[in-house]
């Protein structure tokens, strides 16, 4: 490398550092201007999320004011980090963009980027209910949409946006309690297994959501139900059909016997007449 090129290379390196530093998000410095978010800002520092945010060029922060931060005071630092990382969206959202979007939008958060999220824990549901009612909630199915948008704190399109929300988004199971209690987990197995074994005559009649006594009553119904359909294939019907056929066939046989008796009586009368003539 020639001595003349060294200053050029150094200038390029300084320029890259300046550009990267300019694009880095210093969330602590931004929130320092808003004392009502001091607890939120302090927890971002304690959990190390400020460093992770600084490595992003486009984010949206769902900031919670001090009056709504009490629910995190008794939680472990690691759990607080997971919860707060759900409030860091890896995209730019301001109020006009949300209103222009579809009714519901699923956004990726910093917790999803951590690789430790389970199911939809790392995503946030943003829903515009109309009438200036925009709400946030976990994208986990069945999660409540009870965190409302209060207003815009600041924005730097399309780099940083800080939205004021009135509560904390807690995704189900994010505190580490992913498994149900042992007692609750064992109870369904005890109730389901007998139901599978009991209605062996007709498995389709078993309803797993009904009480245990219900399958016995359901099992009795199919036993009586075939009765209306049984005459079609039962021997009694065939016998009845044969009797009907015999009844239908009997009139021709009776007519034949009556005609034969008339012939016999006529023959007897003729022979009697002939014998009387011979006697004369």
On whether both 54 and 193 belong to a single domain, the answer is no
Asked if residue 28 is part of any domain, the answer here is yes
**31 and 125 inside one domain:** yes
- Let me know whether 31 and 156 are in one domain: yes
DSSP for 65-134, written as a single string: -GGG-GGGTTS-HHHHHHHHHTTEESS---HHHHHHS-SEEEEEBHHHHTT---TTTTEEEEEE-SSS-E
pLDDT at 3: 54
Q: Which two tokens stand for residue 118?
A: 């389970």
150-208 pLDDT, tens digit per residue, is 999 999 999 999 999 999 999 999 987 654 434 433 333 333 333 444 333 343 333 32
19 with 127, same domain: the answer is yes
* Same domain membership, residue 205 and residue 147: no
Confidence bin at 68 (pLDDT 50/70/90)? very high
Mean pLDDT for all residues in the chain: 73
DSSP 199: -
Shared domain for 77 and 142, answered yes or no, is yes
Q: In what order do the strands lie in the sheet with 59-64?
A: 88-89, 59-64, 160-165, 147-156, 134-138, 123-128, 104-108
> Is residue 121 included in any domain, yes or no?
yes
Q: Is the pLDDT of residue 136 over 60?
A: yes
More confident residue, 27 or 189: 27
* 123 domain-assigned: yes
CATH of residue 25: 2.30.180.10
Report H helices in the chain. Answer: 5-23, 27-31, 38-46, 49-54, 77-85, 95-100, 110-113, 182-197, 214-224, 226-229, 235-279
Q: What is the DSSP letter of 167?
A: S
The average pLDDT across 11-30 equals 62
For residue 257, what pLDDT is reported? 46
195 shares a domain with 159: no
- Could you give the number of structural domains in the chain? 2
**C-alpha 17 chain-centroid distance:** 48
Q: In the predicted model, what is the mean pLDDT of residues 86-100?
A: 97
> How far is residue 150's CA from residue 175's CA, in Å, rounded to a whole number?
26
Range 132-138 average pLDDT: 97
* 147 lies in the same domain as 242: no
Domain that holds residue 225: 188-250
CA distances from 88 to 56, 61, 63, 81, 243 (A): 10, 5, 9, 11, 87
pLDDT given for residue 191 in this prediction: 32
Q: Does any domain span residue 129?
A: yes
Percent of the chain whose pLDDT exceeds 70: 56
Q: Can you give the C-alpha Rg of the chain in angstroms?
A: 45
pLDDT at site 205: 35
Same domain, yes or no, for 198 and 153?
no
Compute the average pLDDT of residues 117-146: 96
Please measure the distance between the N-terminal and C-terminal CA atoms of the chain and give it in whole angstroms: 170
């Amino acid at each position: 490398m020639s001595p003349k090129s060294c200053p050029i290379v150094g200038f390029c390196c300084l320029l890259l550092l300046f550009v990267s530093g300019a694009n880095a998000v210093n969330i602590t410095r931004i929130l320092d201007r808003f004392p009502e978010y001091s607890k939120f800002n302090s927890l971002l520092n304690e959990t190390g999320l400020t460093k992770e945010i600084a490595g992003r060029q486009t984010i949206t922060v769902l900031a919670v004011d001090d009056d709504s931060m009490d629910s995190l005071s008794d939680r472990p630092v690691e759990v607080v980090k997971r919860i707060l990382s759900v409030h860091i969206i890896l995209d730019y959202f301001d109020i006009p963009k949300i209103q222009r979007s579809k009714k519901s939008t699923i956004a990726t958060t910093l917790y999803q980027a951590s690789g430790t999220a389970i199911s939809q824990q790392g995503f946030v549901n943003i829903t515009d209910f109309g009438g200036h009612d925009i709400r946030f909630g976990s994208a986990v199915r069945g999660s409540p949409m009870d965190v409302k948008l209060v207003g815009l704190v600041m924005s730097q399109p399309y780099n940083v946006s800080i939205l004021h929300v009135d509560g904390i988004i807690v995704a189900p199971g994010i505190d580490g309690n992913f498994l149900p209690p042992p007692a609750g987990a064992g109870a369904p197995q005890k109730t389901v297994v007998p139901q599978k074994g009991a209605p062996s005559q007709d498995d389709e009649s078993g309803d797993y959501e009904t009480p245990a006594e219900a399958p016995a009553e359901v099992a009795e119904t199919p036993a009586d139900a075939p009765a209306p359909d049984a005459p079609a294939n039962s021997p009694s019907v065939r016998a009845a059909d044969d009797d009907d056929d015999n009844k239908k066939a009997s009139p021709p046989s009776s007519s034949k016997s009556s005609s034969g008796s008339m012939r016999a009586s006529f023959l007897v009368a003729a022979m009697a007449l002939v014998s009387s003539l011979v006697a004369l």
